[in-house]
Structure 1
Amino acid sequence: MTPALAQLLDLTQVVLAQGFAVFVRVGALVSLMPAFGERTVPARVKLLIVIAFTVIVMPAAPSMTTPSDMSGLTLIIMTETINGLLIGIGLRMFVLALQTAGSIAAQSTSLSQILGGAVADPLPAMGYILIIGALALAAMAGLHVKAAALVILSYDLLPLGQFPGGATVSQWGVGQIRQAFGLAFTLAAPFVILSVIYNLTLGAINKAMPQLMVAFVGAPVITAGGLFILFLATPFILELWQKALDHYLASPFEVAR
């Protein structure tokens, strides 16, 4: 074997090893990523997405030594899978925040049972509308570009071939859950306020006119009011959600710090 051929084979082995490490991290991320990782996306399409992200991220990924045995390869697979899942879980929290906001809004406006089983995860109609709109907005706003930048940034926060610290991950996870529920309640606040006003008004009317069946009178009002608030507030809800998502993409581990 000529020296040039041997050098080419060594270089190919290094490139394949680094590409495989990036592929594992990106694959774990895409499996939980909004829009690209949804259940409705076919597995073959997801595989092409992972390969495309791998090709984009690999030139910017840090260099690594080629694993010499099975234990080294196993370590790379385990660490990169965990690191990719951590980043993906943070992104998936924003979808769960929309689901929670839709459930709160639907329960507040008596619209929780309409089209409840229309998707893989049973959702009220409001949650379904918000999620579809948010995913479309994120895709149009360049989610794929921001996600590639996030993966490149993640190598500074989660080094290649190293497990993340348990204390840091637990603190970060609690912070992400807290922020997700806070964001969900913020997004659903107009519907909650409408529900409070409706119930107070209904109680006052019932106190003044006990013989009136206020439930039959108020049900169409709260339903129409909920739809009207959804029509007016959806652009602002999606804008607030997009800003929160962009903030996470720019600094994913800010909570842990």
Structure 2
Amino acid sequence: MIALPPELLGQLGTGLWHVFAVFLRVSAVVTLLPAFGERSIPVRVKLAVAVAFTLIVLPAVPSPQSNPGLLPLARLVGTEVLIGMVLGIGLRLFVLALQTAGSIAAQSTSLSQLLGGAAADPAPALGMFLTLAGLALAVLMGLHIRVAEFLIHSYAMFPMGQTLSAPDLSQWGVRQIAHSFGLAFALATPFVIASLIYNLALGVINRAMPQLMVAFVGAPAITFAGLFLLFAGAPLILSIWADALFSFTLNPLDSGR
């Protein structure tokens, strides 16, 4: 066997420790990452994506203290995984915003039961369509590049091993959830307005002609209106969503204010 010099062994150990420390945060983010972290993606593919992002981010991150003790090691692992999960949840909320917008739109336009069981989780067809289209658009617009920049900038905002403040984290989480629901309702606003006009018109017609079955007459109209709004408004809805997603990757701390 060839004996390696002690200096080379020390450098090799420091390099492996550096890779492991970066992999902790990156793997937690990739687990919740839109498009790359979906439930339909195999675990091996997610692991390969995490390794690829680790190799990209590694040169831009300073090396941590080598060979720490047991308690510092446990603290580093816990803080890095927590930071990665927090950042990943912030990105995942944008996918949930699209799903919520699709659910609101489907309930408003009586399309909630069309192909409702086609996904792993029961979801309206509008929600599935918007989610898949949004993820495809994000990937085409360079989501992987934005995520790599996002991960590198995260070490400037949250240095390696820094413990997150519980009050600040809770306020940030509440703000992000409120922003996610606000974005979902804003994306579904055209469908809500069409539903309001439809129900007001049905009420007026029902008062004028009580014998007429207005529900049977109006159901095809609201279905057609919902499909037309989806056809006409999907490009604008997805562009607004993509801009909000990429704005979050640029500055996750101020997003949602």
For normalisation by structure 2, the TM-score amounts to 0.96
Aligned residue runs from structure 1 range 9-48, under 5 A: 9-48=9-48
- Name 1:254's counterpart in structure 2: 254
2:75 is aligned to: 75
Distance 1:14 1:221 in 2: 67
1:73 and 1:205 mapped to 2: Cα distance? 71
Question: Secondary structure of 1:163's partner?
Answer: coil
Aligned to 1:145: 145
* Separation of aligned partners in 1, 2:80 and 2:118: 35
User: Partner of 1:156 in structure 2?
Assistant: 156
Give the 5 Å matches for 1:1-257. Answer: 5-255=5-255
Q: Can you list the C-alpha shifts for 1:84-127, whole angstroms capped at 9, x where unaligned? A: 00100000000010011000000000011111121122110000
| C-alpha separation in 2, matches of 1:68 and 1:158 | 20
Q: Return the alpha-carbon distance in structure 2 between the equivalents of residues 228 and 68 of structure 1.
A: 61
2:106 maps to a residue whose letter is A
Task: Tell me the distance in 1 between the aligned counterparts of 2:215 and 2:117.
Answer: 26
C-alpha separation in 2, matches of 1:135 and 1:5: 49
1:150–1:249 CA contact under 8 A, matched in 2? yes
Residue-pair matches, total: 254
CA offset digits 1:57-77 (Å, max 9, x no partner): 010012211133322221221
Distance 1:79 1:12 in 2: 24
Distance verdict in 2 for CA 1:256–1:203, change over 3 Å: closer
Distance 2:125 2:150 in 1: 32
Structure 1 unmatched runs, 5+: none
CA distance in 2, matches of 1:10, 1:72: 19
Counterpart-to-counterpart distance in 2, 1:195 and 1:103: 14
Computed over aligned residues only, the root mean square deviation of the Cα atoms, in angstroms, reads 1.3
Equivalent pair of 2:34/2:95 in contact (CA under 8 Å)? yes
Q: Decide whether the 8 Å contact of 2:102 with 2:188 is kept in 1.
A: yes
Greater shift after overlay, 37-46 or 8-17? Answer: 8-17
Q: Deviations over 1:198-248 (max 9, x none)?
A: 001111111111110000000111011101110000000000000000110
Which amino acid in the other structure matches residue 184 of structure 1?
A: A
* Contact preservation (8 Å) 1:171, 1:256: no
Identity %: 56
Q: What is the TM-score with the length of structure 1 in the denominator?
A: 0.96
- Cα distance in structure 1, aligned partners of 2:22 and 2:131: 29
The answer on whether the counterparts of 2:191 and 2:229 sit within 8 Å (CA) in structure 1 is yes
**Structure 1 residue 10 displacement after superposition:** 1.1
For the 8 Å contact 2:80–2:161, the answer to whether it is kept is yes
Distance 2:96 2:140 in 1: 20
Query: SS where residue 65 of structure 1 aligns?
Result: coil
Runs of 4+ off more than 3 Å: none
Residues 248 and 255, structure 2, Cα contact 8 Å, conserved in 1: no
